[in-house]
Amino acid sequence: MKIGEKLNNVKLLLEDGNNFSSDEFLGKKLIIYFYPKDDTPGCTKEAIEFSELIEEFKKNNTQIIGISKDSLEKHQKFISKHKLKVKLASDEDLEICKKFGVWVEKSMYGKKYMGIERSTFLFDQNLILIKEWKKVKVNNHAQEVLEYIVS
């Protein structure tokens, strides 16, 4: 996805078993954030921060979907354990991660591996990509996104 592109016909399963279809969000702003793995320190902090601000996002006509390659069962446990208020979608086949360019080669302690690059994408009411944050640092990221929407 590139700035100015429309989000077309993206469909995923949400943690509650319902389908996520991007077309359902026409008329609202949509945040899609990608994160590496449920219940890890950074991913937990990010999900909690978005959850804590969910009412402010709703007041600004904005919905939030978090996406990782974790299973729906793992998402359910993650939400329950941390009382999260955000919706989480599973992209186990990595189709959407690849479409957004967030499935990348990473390196840790000199070892290379493939993983999700923490990234956030903001779409306007017509599902046009208007802002992206790549290589996100978790601290205060949700607040930064909210401030961008409000400004």
| Segment 95-133, tens digit of pLDDT | 999 999 999 999 888 899 999 999 999 999 999 999 999
CA–CA distance, 13 with 48 (Å, rounded to integer):
21
Q: Where are the domains of the chain?
A: 11-150
CA–CA distance, 134 with 143 (Å, rounded to integer):
16
Q: Which CATH class is domain 11-150?
A: alpha beta
Among residues 139, 22, 146, which one has the least CA distance to residue 89? 22
What Cα–Cα distance (Å) separates residue 96 from each residue in 33, 69, 82, 112? Answer: 12, 10, 25, 22
CA–CA distance, 145 with 132 (Å, rounded to integer):
10
What is this structure's pTM? 0.94
The answer, yes or no, to whether residue 58 has pLDDT greater than 90, is yes
Chain segment 68-97, per-residue pLDDT in tens: 999 999 999 999 999 999 999 999 999 999
Active site residues: 43
Among residues 1, 136, 145, 19, which one has the least CA distance to residue 89? 19
H helices of 13-53, in order, are 41-52
Average predicted confidence (pLDDT) for the chain: 95
Q: Please give the pLDDT value at position 10.
A: 87
